[in-house]
Amino acid sequence: MDQSTIATPEHVFARLAAGNARRRLRFGLPARREALRALSEAIRNNEDEILAALSADFAKPEAEIRLTEILPVQAEIAHALRNLKRWMRPRRARPTRATLGMRARIISEPKGTALIIAPWNYPVALSLGPLASALAAGCAVVLKPSELTPASTEVITRIVAEALPEDLAVVCQGGVEMSQALLDLPFDHVFFTGSPRVGRIVMEKAARHLASVTLELGGKSPVIVGPGADLKKAARMIAWAKFSNAGQTCIAPDHVFVSKSVEAPFLAELKAAIAKMYGRTEEAQEASRDLARIVSPDHFARLMALVAEAEAGGARTLTGGKGQAEKRYIAPTVLMGTDPSMGVEREEIFGPVLPVIPFGDAEDVLARIEAGPRPLALYIFERDRSLVERLRRASSSGAVGVNVALVHYFHQNLPFGGIGNSGVGAAHGYWGFAAFSHDKPVLENRFTPLGLFMPPYRGARLVKLAQRLLR
């Protein structure tokens, strides 16, 4: 086992924190670029190991590993390499009337020592992506991957150890106890990706040290299929976005609100899209290599219980509904006739189960969305621009996709994050860099008549004049 995985959290933290002052001086543009290049190269050198690990952890298809794990991290690194010089450049601030004669700049300074806690669902992308942002910002990092994907955690540990020195980045393996032990230490920033429940714990723990936090959380991301949607394209996009990674995606469509006027043809298109992607029969779908497995027996049981509860309450399956415990396989499942008392409409589903819920008009669907916590993503499938704009403006969510789902994750020039229950702060590209940076204003005196305003005060006349002029 690598040295870094057996050192205690206190030991690891102390070593990294001891280097903060030195890093502020020495970890400049060339050194950060070098670290980012080394990380990129180590990922490239371990591609086969990444493929094998994710396949072992939950039978993630190779195409999905390449597209949703390796590509986003490499794109994040390439984007940082291209833009880092500009991000790091001190920004001049224009003088204000009251500070004429002074020079003002804003300098992005590394926050210091950062803790990154990652979930299991995209183990590589959601640990090494934030790591790239932290390195770009000049921080040292302790990374804690998820205990639910042990093979991936091993590869991540190896990649970090290969690419980066131990006084810059260390992986601490372990579960809840390790996570809690790390959260007890006075990190300067905590970047957490995971559930809203654990997000609350993280924020409370960070508050004790007044550490800043980025919380990339989850929740129920709804889809609206409007009366004017291109139903075939919408169904294909929704099926892909929902069943990739077997629905274990933070921004996967959680459920679909479909306009009553197009409900029947939409369901027919959805069924056809699923059949085309994963096979027409139950046997074909089960044999499909393009559908990932559920990560753990607990999550398998949780999902099957959600389906059973819905069916017991009168919901019907358009397709799917069956699972195989020993393989942790659940068929792509579409539920109709669910109601708000059921778990599938209350909890984040996080699996290949998609309730489709009919709605009457825009007010109806907006009221239903407003009744829940603010989602990480809201997807609108509709060709009528004015309806799209109305839905967008009246709703609040981390992000909006119009006639598209998931893809905003891949756009480095967009901030990625939630609002309220779906998160605090943002990641990706410049916003990832900013999350790990402190914008430090530096004000420098050159020639100011400030002495005139120091005691002993020369009566009120001059001050009154200044008050008028400097407004």
Copy the structure tokens of residue 5: 């995985």
User: By C-beta, is 20 or 195 nearer to ligand NAD?
Assistant: 195
Residue 224 backbone dihedrals phi, psi, to 5 degrees: -110, 125
Name the percent of the chain in helix, strand, coil, to the closest 5: 50, 20, 30
Query: Among residues 76, 216, 269, 348, which one is catalytic?
Result: 216
250 in active site: yes
- Cis bond upstream, residue 110 (ω within 30): no
Q: Which residues bind ligand NAD (CB under 6 A)?
A: 117-121, 126, 144, 146-147, 175-176, 179-180, 193-195, 198, 201, 216-218, 250, 348, 350, 376, 418, 423
Query: Strand, helix or coil at 151?
Result: helix
Kindly state the smallest distance separating residue 205's Cβ from ligand NAD, in Å. Answer: 8
**What's the closest the beta carbon of residue 303 comes to ligand NAD, in angstroms?**
13
DSSP 3-state of 379: strand
Q: What is the smallest separation between the CB atom of 163 and ligand NAD, expressed in angstroms? A: 21
Q: How far is the CB of 416 from ligand NAD (least distance, A)?
A: 7
- 6 by Cβ neighbours in 10 Å (0-12 / 13-18 / 19+) ranks as exposed
Alpha helix ranges (H) inside 279-296: 282-287
Looking at residue 65, its amino acid is I
Min dist CB 175 to ligand NAD, Å, is 5
172 is an active site residue: no
CB of 218 to ligand NAD, least distance (A): 2
Task: Report the alpha-carbon distance of residue 452 to residue 138 in Å, rounded.
Answer: 42
Q: How far is the CB of 253 from ligand NAD (least distance, A)?
A: 12
Which residue has the CB atom at the shortest distance from ligand NAD?
218
Q: Pick between residue 108 and residue 249 the one whose CB is nearest to ligand NAD.
A: 249
Contact 350, 218 (CB under 8 A): yes
- Distance of alpha carbon 314 from alpha carbon 352, whole angstroms: 19
Residue linked to tokens 């590589």 = 124
Nearer Cβ to ligand NAD (68/338): 68
- Whichever of 118 and 267 has its CB closer to ligand NAD, that residue is 118
Across the chain, which distance is largest between two alpha carbons, in Å? 92
Which of 250, 269, 345, 382 is flagged as catalytic? 250
- Euclidean distance between CA atoms 440 and 447, whole angstroms: 22
B/e letters for 260-284, b = 16+ CB within 10 Å, e = fewer, are eebbeebbebbbebbbebbbeeeee
Task: Determine contact, residues 294/351, Cβ cutoff 8 Å.
Answer: yes
Tokens encoding 289: 């290599």
Q: Which residues carry out catalysis?
A: 216, 250
